[in-house]
Amino acid sequence: MVAGLDCPQEVAILRRVLEPLPGVEAMEVNLVEGSVSVEHRPEVTRDHLIRVIGETGMRATPPGGDENPEAATARRVRWALVTLSGVLTGLGLALQWSGTGEAAVLRLLFAGAIVSGGWFIFPKAWQALRVFSPDMNLLMTLAVAGAMGIGQWSEGAAVAFLFGLSESLEAFSLQRARRAIASLLELAPATAWVLGEGTAPHEVPVEAVAPGQRVIVRPGGRVPLDGVVEEGSSHVNQASITGESLPVLREPGDGVYAGTINGEGTLHLRVSRPSGETLLARIIRLVGEAQARKAPSEQFVDRFARVYTPAVLGVALLVFLLPPLVAGGAWGVWFYRALVLLVIACPCALVIATPVSIVSGLTAMARRGVLIKGGATLEMLGRVRALALDKTGTLTEGRPRVQEVIPVAGTDPRELLRIGASLAAMSDHPLSQAIVAHAAEAGVEAAPAEGHRASRGRGVEAALDGHPYFAGNHRYAHELGVCTPELELKLEAIEAQARSVVIVGHQPHDGCAGEVLGIFAVSDSLRENVPPAIAALHRAGVAPVVILSGDNQQTVDAIARQAGIDQAYGDLLPDEKIGRVERLMETGVTGMVGDGINDAPALATAHVGIAMGTGTDAALENADVTLVRNDLTRVAGAIALGRRAAGIIRFNIVFALAVKALFLALVLAGYPSLWMAIAADTGATLLVIANALRLLRVE
């Protein structure tokens, strides 16, 4: 961990001093976490690396060290020195303007303001000079030194104070983003109450609890680890993980997540994952890793700043030399203007524009159950114009349900349900299980059946109360000879709605014709939030929205009509899905939404792969975006955030460059002074930071 690692310039400084070291093979700086990881050969010691980092003005502590007090102390010292600089500058200016201050006293006040305001800046400037890599710290230091050299101590003090204030506010903005991420760490408790065999619950650290052990969660407590409910039922507030606004009922067999809040009941859980692999832990890890995946705009700014800063030094030198040498200008005047140019040209606002925006956007969406892997993905989301959707598990619930029970020939509906459930109870087919579940919900008990006989791909036969019955599909009814023209019309109407039919009736026997008693219409239900989610996507300008499914075309068409989806393609094999995605990609940036496993090839092909699901390993590790909860409405929100973030980044970059261009023109015309230049630079930086932090409040 590195105290004082608060802006991209400090990242560049660390790279400059660490990468050239003999024995250092690779390094990674995480600005959000305030940490640096170094791969090195054995001859490079940790103490040596810490000492090198310390020479830059930052302070490093080893992993597991007491970093927080170091960072907190550094922040307090920084603000104290900046405050002191401001007080001394203000007092000196007041005495100077009133004409009551002695020259020696004024110089002492301004010197104190310069030292305190530049305390954290000057060491970085010296380091930049040592490695011949000019940065904004060196530019500011040169401007202050030049002001002192020409006797403008008051302006030198103003520059040191305002730049120190700007740096402190920049660090504060990043600290706010860090706190937003760190707040996730506080969700899960540090201990769990473990249930032993024949012993009372005892409290142990969550790190010591292994998968398979049982823990107890009392009313109002936080769930310590991911697990499955074995005993008890309670409403659990999952807003911190899935973004659901209302608590959800959790009963035996249901999964719960670490960091969620138990409601009114006591739950006994069987732990499913160790503490380091809970969904919450992986969310935190992914958000931290995402910062390392730089967005295209951030890469552009980094490249621009590397060229821009030394170019500014060259231009300032020309501004100082050419007018006196060529046009006979006054050396003092053009030296002063060169100093003002150095201050104005500092790329503070430009360099900070993108990373704060990216971190704010990633953190805002993580709080709402949307994990976005890096700034590049966030920007790509904002450019999505076409979206492909899997059907089963994405648009639908992924399990068939009885949608309608249709009695025939005056059969009592509950009697029809009893017969159907009695026959279906002897089969493990998904349609049979749907009928059994529907009967249980209606309070109808299945009766024992005898002589069960299954006809593969058709249906079942069995005796119930001494009478032979059958339950089967449309084809089976034809084979039994029980279809009538009236029944055919009903079956066609049901199948046109993309529903499967289960026909129940008397089995033909002993010369007696069979008779249909009723029909069960079964289908995979469309998720309730899908139609509003599709409408939101259309409002966001995403078109076309298409279904890509291996299900039959008739079913896919019906789902598309119900959901308001533009196009539907059924009967697709996995490689055919890829082909459809590739055709969409020819029309613009394309996203693919699936379950993260079955649709993996298409997810990998699309510009942005979006995985639905409750945090499976495959989804979290392989998708560009993961929706922690199966809520398609979050896709439109993520796309809208991507567009908003891209807009804020573009505005920040253009605004920063425009301010530079305006004041550079004024410098050459002889208008701004040093303190006006630093005020403009500081103002631009603060506006850029404030604009970026608005993303944390996105709804």
- Pick from 647, 625, 556, 545: which is nearest to 587 by CA? 545
Q: Is 302 a catalytic residue?
A: no
Amino acid, single-letter form, for residue 317: L
Name which of 369, 396, 392 is nearest 635 in CA terms: 369
Q: Where are the alpha helices (DSSP H) in 573-673?
A: 574-585, 600-605, 617-622, 633-669
Q: Give the whole-angstrom CA distance, residue 484 versus residue 433.
A: 27
CB 234, CB 264: distance < 8 Å: yes
* Selected catalytic residue, list 6, 135, 226, 390: 390
Task: Give the three-class secondary structure for 622.
Answer: helix
Residues 342/681, Cβ–Cβ less than 8 Å: no
Alpha-carbon distance of 143 to 339, in angstroms, equals 5
Residue reference for tokens 């069995």: 462
Separation between Cα atoms, residue 272 and residue 277, nearest integer Å: 10
User: Residue 210 contacts by C-beta under 8 Å, 6 or more apart in sequence?
Assistant: 271, 274
The amino acid sitting at 11 is V
CB count, 10 Å around CB of 46?
A: 12
In DSSP notation, 155-174 reads HHHHHHHHHHHHHHHHHHHH
Greatest Cα pair distance in the chain: 125
- Rounded Cα distance between 507 and 515, Å, is 7
Torsion sign across C-alpha atoms 440, 444, 448, 451: negative
Return the bridge partners of 627, or none.
370
Tell me if 274 sits within 8 A of 205, measured CB to CB.
Answer: no
- The phi and psi torsions of 125 (rounded to 5 degrees) equal -65, -40
Let me know if 97 is exposed, middle or buried by CB neighbors in 10 A (0-12, 13-18, 19+): exposed
> Pick from 134, 135, 163: which is nearest to 147 by CA?
163
Q: How far apart are CA 336 and CA 152, in angstroms?
A: 9
The order of strands in the sheet holding 500-506 is 396-407, 515-526, 500-506, 467-472, 459-464, 450-455
DSSP 527: P
Q: Could you give the dihedral angle defined by the CA atoms of residues 87, 89, 90 and 94, in that order, rounded to the nearest 10 degrees?
A: 140
**Peptide bond before residue 355 is cis, with ω within 30 degrees of 0:** no
Angstrom distances, CA of residue 242 to CA of 37, 236, 246, 634, 696:
31, 11, 11, 10, 17
Q: Quick one: which H or E segment has residue 459? A: strand 459-464
Contact 249/235 with Cβ under 8 angstroms?
yes
Q: Token digits for 41?
A: 């050969």
Question: CA end-to-end span of the chain, whole Å?
Answer: 32
Q: Other CB atoms closer than 10 Å to residue 258's CB: what's the count?
A: 25
Pairing assessment for the beta strands 450-455 and 459-464 based on DSSP bridges: antiparallel
In what helix (H) or strand (E) does residue 69 lie, and over which residues does it extend?
helix 67-98
Which amino acid is it at 205?
P
Q: Are 264 and 222 in contact (CB under 8 A)?
A: no
The residues that are catalytic are 390
